[in-house]
Amino acid sequence: MASLPRDDNHATVQLAPSKVALARTVDASISASTEITLNANTTFIRVYAIAQDIYLKWGVADVTASNFDEVIPAGQIVDLVVPADTTALNLIERVSGATAIVIEK
């Protein structure tokens, strides 16, 4: 088995699928649960949380502050494998002022 690539400090380098993005979503109005329908070929997403935390829920059910699957911390990038048979996800800001960027691969 091949080892993962490492940077100059010998830390493992973060990897993402070497595919062209299938879809991109930028949303600065996620004060209510916002659904993103995934491309049928999406197996991986990269989510950026700009300025504020974002809650994410897999599937078509609305996401709330008490019903979510993932939290994307403010100023962070999170890579997630899309669960099998998942066709959509929902996002909502934790507090006002959040912007989400979702890249599907």
Range of lowest pLDDT (26-30, 44-48, 58-62) = 26-30
d(CA 55, CA 49): 10
Q: Which residues contact 23 (CB under 8 A, 6 or more apart)?
A: 38, 39, 42, 102, 103, 104
70 and 94 in contact (C-beta within 8 Å)? no
User: Could you tell me the pTM of the whole model?
Assistant: 0.82
pLDDT of residue 93: 95
pLDDT of residue 16: 67
**Residues 84/78/37/64 CA torsion (nearest 10 deg):** 100
| Band of residue 101 on the pLDDT scale cut at 50, 70, 90 | very high
Residue carrying structure tokens 């070929």: 41
CATH 3.30.70.20 fits 23-104, yes or no: no
